[in-house]
Structure 1
Amino acid sequence: MPGQRLAQPNPPADPSHLPDSVLDLGVQVASDITPAELASLDKFKRAANYISAAMIFLKDNVLLEKKLTSDDIKPRLLGHWGTCPGLVLVYAHLNRIIKKNDLDALLVVGPGQSWRTCILSCLWLEEALACFWPRYSRDRAGLTRLIAKFSTPGGFPSHINAETPGCIHEGGELGYALSVSFGAVMDNPYLVAVCVVGDGEAETGPTATAWHGFKYIDPVESGAVLPILHLNGFKISERTIFGCMDDKELIALFSGYGYQVCIVDDLPNIDKDLAGAMEWALGEISRIQHAARSKKPIVKPRWPMLILRTPKGWSCPKTLRGEFIEGSFRAHQVPLPEVKTSPEELQMLQDWLASYRPKELFTVNSAQDEAEGAPMNDVTEIIPLVKEKRLGFRKEAYAAFQLLDVPEWMSFGVQNGSEASCMKTVGIFLREVIKKNPTTFRIFSPDELVSNKLDAVFDVTERNFQWDIASRAHGGRVVEILSEHTCQGMLQGYTLTGRTGLFPTYEAFIGIIHTMVVQYSKFVKMAHETNWRHDIGSVNFLETSTWARQEHNGFSHQNPSFIGALLDPKPKLARVYLPPDANCFLSTVAHCLRSKNYVNLMVGSKQPTTVWLSPEEANRHCIAGASVWKFASTEEGVNPDVVLVGVGTEVTFEVIAAAALLRKLIPALRVRVVNVTDLMILGPSGSHPHALSDEGFNTLFTPDKPVIINYHSYPIEIKGLLYGRPKLDRISIGGYQEEGTTTSPFDMMLCNHVSRYDVAAAAVRAGASHNAKVAVDSHKMASYIMHLAETDKKYIYHEGRDPDGTFDTPVFEKK
């Protein structure tokens, strides 16, 4: 058939290099599609396209039983028509191939808002909407409600979200559909995720990297992704890059990525061609999987992909006032924007909707017929008979959660008083998590797992990089790729289809996925509010290589701002933890891996630091979220003049060191030391599920004494959390001040004024107002303490290292 070209129809055993002639290859792909299937496909497509167009324009007369008037048109027209007909085409053919082959498939779609109307129309036809949203019943009443309420108050919004059956991808931001699809098929060996990538989305950086995702899919243990690059040539007002590429360029590009490419673009034969292309693609997937599962894996298997070309706005009016609509950017959103006020456009809409021949598609014969408005039988003939196989009913999309078997963490604890790397300790714990959960837990890391000291996991698993001979077809719980976007997309797909993952990374670079996490949080929020969606595992981020211990890296690697990003989502969703030592980190990781429906952020150090608490003490501390550390306080923290608070590993060490310094220099100053490990407890009572009551806050921080907080990130974040608490004028906050370079660890503390000297001097000044003995010498002692800071700084710049003993664990003698 013309219009279908494969870059390499029969790859050799080791297709590492393509022959020069491969770009000129063209083969035919045959299909055994029957005339009856073609007729049913045509009617399904017409019905779905009719509903999609009606959803944009109509508030009444939804079955076109009388001539349209201005009163039938919505007062505000919202929607994206341009990609709808192509997506309906794909949906219809997926129905056919699912029904024919008993296929297990998910559909993930990337072209923004366009797919809301068309996917909803297909879900209504297959009865998924009626199942999950009974008010959208498959009859006149349900159809009227679907069309009239779309993009109006109380109806479905204009983009895809968690309210949409079968959906695992928030449709508000482009770039992530493909990586989400690869995450969804991991450890789902019989699932095929069909991912439609629009030519607008294909221009994004995250999508450009995600094409490599199949190189991290082991065909023994995981399913497959079938990408469909949908080219209609235009985005909102401009041509697209991929839409302007010819066949040879497209084949060269995607063959270079490692795909077999099939182009489908012959409009007169589009159904036959697409049916054949899908059958070929599934055959190739089966061949690759069968070889791997027979222990004869193909070296660098070339997975199939389809390139589908259809006109922008296909089947809408051709022209309007001498300008092209179909096949141009003018079809991207609302092709007839003045239809409510223009008789010409109203007539064009009448003709457009009538061209789908709705009387052949929906029952409209009798007002007494309970099923009036339902799709006719031959419209739904192409839909799979088994409901669970239909795209809107896939349990992977809403009810597949598998709770992790999380080991008891205390047996991995470290002796208090010793030194230990939080990450090394957690790595040993994660090794056991992987052993206990061989098919439901993965680590998605931007190529920094060893650097972040989590490499103990490699005692029991491998990296799942299938283009590396050492790990091919051997599985592996670790995916490492130097793209934060791809790691996050895979994590989202893996989590939303029922499993649990961990994303460890350098603190400085996790902000790259800020907007992705915001989008994901919106999806989780709506899932919380959608009663038919089941629990999902929490998304877990682990930040390390922090600004305070960034080793050889400089100012560019100092950026704790992702904490602030997680303070904005709904309080039901976000959790931020800054465990102060290895035992507290173990407790926190175990808790987060057991949790459900959250976005968890854990911030810690990979360098050896003091273990302050025993496992039992750490357990109680983490349950509380904060506690008084009596060992570092004077008189066990009773009746203090000042409260010193550490929030973060390294800055807490400085608080402890400050307390030791004050005890030595100014023994009359009464000090209470508090550590906060759960950041959300600081918010006003009721602002977050973890927020302390006012009574609890005062018990911990006193009702009226000065409080000096030493915080890992930007002080403004703490100020925002505390807003609403009484007597905030007594609280001062130190934190990262955007100062740094390639320097010593202690110099970083000095540069950002979170050193022990800064804390101690502030404590002397603040405590003087509550202790007359301290007030007498407060100026002298504060000046002396800051002199010590200058002395240490001069030493660092002269010697190129911190003074000896700087990070020795402070010793507190009991009186």
Structure 2
Amino acid sequence: MPIADHAAVLTDEDAALIDRYFLAANYLSVGQIYLMANPLLREPLAAEQVKPRLLGHWGTTPGLNFIYAHLNRIIRERDADVLYVCGPGHGGPGMVANTWLEGSYSEIYPSIPQDAEGMGKLFRQFSFPGGIPSHAAPETPGSIHEGGELGYALVHAYGAAFDNPDLVVACVVGDGESETGPLAASWHGNVFLNPVHDGAVLPILHLNGYKIANPTIFGRMDDADLAKLFEGFGYRPIFVVIDASDDRIAAHKAMAAACDAAFDEIRAIQRDAREAGHAGMPRWPMIVMRSPKGWTGPKEVDGKRVEGFWRAHQVPIDAARTDEGHRALLEQWMRGYKPEELFDEDGALVPELRALAPQGDKRMGSTPFANGGRLRAELRRPDWRDFAPTAKVHGQEQGEATKAAGRYLAELIRLNADRRNFRIMGPDETNSNRLQAVFEQTDRVWQEPIESYDEDLATDGRVMEVLSEHLCQGWLEGYTLTGRHGLFNCYEAFVHIVDSMFNQHAKWLKVSRDLDWRRPVSSFNYLLSSHVWRQDHNGFSHQDPGFIDHVVNKKADIVRVYLPPDANTLLRTLDHCLGTYDRINVIVAGKQPAPQWLSADAAEYHCAAGLGVWTWAGNQEAGGEPDVVMACAGDVPTMETMAAVDLLRQHLPELKVRVVNVVDLMTLQPRSDHPHGIADADFDALFTTDKPVIFAYHGYPHLIHRLTYNRTNHRNLHVHGFMEEGTTTTPFDMVVRNELDRFHLAIDAIDRVPGLAVRAVEAKQHFRNGLIEHHRYVTTHGEDLPDIAGWSWPYAGATEEGRD
């Protein structure tokens, strides 16, 4: 929709006031980048008043300030709730400037008041040691999106809008960011946005033509082609085109008309859906705004073009401290904003401009939607024991862990249906990961046409499936950061696609935890299934457990990794994670039928401890020392360890074996390194100080060594795990190829126990023969030996003995 279709809504006087507010924000933005003293330029600018290290991004900032000023008007006149998502997050000086102008900043940080002293502190702290980052970081009021890594603004915006029916998320997408893959996919968020129950996203594509040192693709496309592109995506683009030589009053009028048109259309869409019951996927408005990069800044520096060119991207005048000519140019630039007309004698914004900002929580720097812990309500969680398999006998019953989790999640969805504060995200894998029970309570959300033969699709659902891990991750980040809860289920190998998004979210949570004014938000929960050991049918491309390694690089107080060995431990772990906050929880669990080891009561004790001895599995005397510790973490490693123990008990009954199972991987670290770590004395009691430990681990073996390197018995720790050997083969052949199978584990135990190899020659040969027979059988029949595929723990015993 061209902007010419809308009448101007501002008088010249109103436009002039908004322009002065815009200039005040620009002045503050430039000051943050350059000055460490003399904030109001009430004396000639001296070299020592310019920062020695000039850091920041000017080029995108004027456009962000321009948009912010116009959203302020919309909020005031319509009493709207607006969340500002700043895609060009490196335009951080603009976000800080605007939140200071509206008063939010000083309320949160009283040491930086709205006066000359506060302005000086505001300037000095920016990108300065001991100060604040240059991006719209957690320290920035009103922000849920840093933008340091481009690509995620729009997906965060949609995540924030889901289940927030009265919220409009104004999302500024930079034209550099628009070239990224995640952003390109994010335009499809409109397919999942329900106008009845969700809020709205107003994308504002900010085209200033250049990224760091090159033109941008969208910046060089003409308006007609851009209109066709976004109409094809299902949007109605409204164009605002600003030239540096244009009258700024006219630019403000054009932007005001565009904003009014967009908000009118949003409310009309929602009214038609909510009151008239109109169905179908609406065509949501968006704004395409062209403005010069570095608008209102210097035209040229040293005879080279700056405004409207890539040289405006960061610091356009780069030697203002050491070069007198550059310093004079900086002073001329800043005085050109006429700060004496914008700020009073005390350094506060003049009254007529202060009146342009919204009040209270309507201010974009104070909105509770950007501090989601203020809105967070605890989930109503069912008793997970109601969904627990009976597991009356250790390891002799089969069960599917994630199928049990699906039944638990279905009930959780039912219990929270009225609150609309929980969603499941995943890349088209809810059924594949055996969580299909959730469809007894909800559907997949979908706004495009639904055919009569489609299954589990509806315009209103709690499950969001799209074949983009980036969108699932970003949606859930936006959803939890604005006060809600959720779960991201994914194939283990392909969660790597969001490695860098995980990084950014972990950093956000780490910083937020240290800010008293940031209220706790719900944890980000991953459920990784279809894991490395049961991707035998898909092959090597689907076999990678390395996400865990990536996760544990983050601060200990943020990350948790859980490897439940059966359905009951998964249920208890999942229930625990959904009740936590300010964490990232990674749960890895299988979906295939597997032995069920623990009753619900035993699982409760075991998971609370995080690891423990399975006394019923070993054969050491009570209170005695074992000859060998067989340790395991993960469902398949646990099964193979138990099968190895079975072999040792059959062939070497005199060997004293202790079995230790680990659910919470972080317990292996010392308590000084992680809150869940166990004390050295407890670690020594479990793993001994001098006996061999054969550790079967779900992932890459080196991680276990890394977590335990300074434990007393580390020298005797021998880890089996994924050795980057994989193919399309049988489940047991996968573990054999990586020497995680029962035969290799039993052989290693024999080799590591001093003096045992001589006495156990026949047993060792028997185990080797088992490997030979396996190879012969699997390559002949294409399936595992019946004795392998049908193995179960052969030793009967009740599971109710408590802390086993």
The TM-score, its normalising length taken from structure 2, stands at 0.95
2:634 equivalent to 1:652: no
Contact 2:640 2:742 in 1 (8 A): yes
* 8 A Cα contact 1:409 1:429, kept in partner: yes
The aligned counterpart of 2:793 is 810
The structural deviation recorded for 1:294 is: 2.4
Give the whole-Å Cα distance in 1 for the aligned partners of 2:627 and 2:484: 49
Return the offset for 1:295. Answer: 5.2
2:158 equivalent in structure 1: 182
Instruction: State the distance in 2 between where 1:242 and 1:319 align.
Output: 25
2:15 to 27, 38, 51: 38
Residues 29-428 of structure 1 correspond to what in structure 2 (within 5 A)?
29-113=6-90, 115-267=91-243, 268=247, 269-294=250-275, 296-364=277-345, 372-384=346-358, 386-398=359-371, 399-416=374-391, 417-428=396-407
Determine which of 604, 617, 622 is the counterpart of 1:632. 617
User: SS where residue 576 of structure 1 aligns?
Assistant: strand
1:400 positional shift: 1.7
> Unaligned stretches of 5+ in structure 2?
799-804
Q: Which residue of 2 aligns with 1:21?
A: none
What does 1:359-758 align with in structure 2 at a 5 Å threshold? Answer: 359-364=340-345, 372-384=346-358, 386-398=359-371, 399-416=374-391, 417-438=396-417, 439-469=420-450, 474-635=459-620, 638-758=624-744
Cα separation, 1, equivalents of 2:512 and 2:166: 26
Contact 1:220-1:473 within 8 A present in 2 as well:
no
Deviation at 1:780, TM superposition (A): 4.4
Q: Which moved more, 1:302-311 or 1:693-702?
A: 693-702
Cα distance between partner residues in 2 of 1:798 and 1:254:
56
Instruction: Give the RMSD, CA atoms, in angstroms.
Output: 1.5
Which letter maps to 2:64? L
Tell me the amino acid that sits aligned with residue 649 of structure 1. Answer: D
Partner AA of 1:425 in structure 2: A
1:642/1:670 contact within 8 Å kept: yes
Q: Secondary structure at the match of 2:75?
A: helix
Listed one character per residue, the Cα deviations across residues 650-670 of structure 1 (whole Å, up to 9, x for unaligned) are: 111000000001111111111
Q: Which residue of 1 aligns with 2:802?
A: none
Identity of aligned residues (%): 44
Q: Per the alignment, in what secondary structure is the counterpart of residue 445 of structure 2?
A: coil
The question of whether the paired residues in 2 share the 8 Å contact of 1:264 and 1:306 is answered with yes
Q: Which moved more, 1:488-497 or 1:133-142?
A: 133-142
1:11 equivalent in structure 2:
none
* Partners of 2:536 and 2:727 within 8 A in 1: no
Q: 1:646 to 1:468 in 2, by over 3 A?
A: farther
Equivalent pair of 1:762/1:782 in contact (CA under 8 Å): no
User: 2: distance between equivalents of 1:686 and 1:663?
Assistant: 37
Q: Aligned AA for 2:777?
A: Y
- Going from structure 1 to structure 2, the CA distance change for 1:636 and 1:422 (only over 3 Å counts) comes to farther
**Kept in 2: contact 1:750–1:793 (CA 8 A):** no
Q: Which amino acid aligns with 1:413?
A: A
What SS does structure 2 have at the residue aligned with 1:658? helix
Q: Is the 8 A contact 1:466 1:472 kept in 2?
A: no
The aligned amino acid for 2:364 is: L
8 Å Cα contact 1:211-1:257 kept in structure 2: yes
Secondary structure in 1 aligned to 2:5?
A: coil
Match of 1:505, as an amino acid?
A: C
Structure 2: which amino acid aligns with 1:103?
A
| 1:39 Cα deviation from its structure 2 partner | 2.3
User: Do the aligned partners of 1:765 and 1:778 also contact (CA within 8 Å) in 2?
Assistant: no
TM-score by structure 1 length?
0.94
User: Matched residue pairs, number?
Assistant: 779
The 1:363–1:423 alpha-carbon spacing in structure 2 relative to 1, beyond 3 Å, is same
- The one-letter code of the counterpart of 1:503 is F
- How far 1:298 sits from its partner (Å)? 4.1
Structure 1 unmatched runs, 5+? 7-25, 365-371
Task: Please tell me whether the aligned partners of residues 218 and 472 of structure 1 are also in contact (alpha carbons under 8 angstroms).
Answer: no
| TM-superposition CA deviations, 1:330-349 (whole Å, max 9, x none) | 00000001111222211111
What SS is found at the alignment partner of 1:806?
helix
Between the aligned partners of 1:723 and 1:36, the Cα distance in structure 2 is 70
Deviations 1:700-745 (A, max 9, x none): 1122211110000001111111122123111100100111111000
The answer (yes or no) to whether the contact 1:503–1:540 under 8 Å persists in 2 is yes
Task: Single out whichever of 680-689 and 786-795 deviates more from structure 2.
Answer: 786-795
Q: Does 1:778 find its partner at 2:777?
A: no
The one of 746, 766, 780 aligned to 2:752: 766
Post-superposition shift, 1:142? 0.8
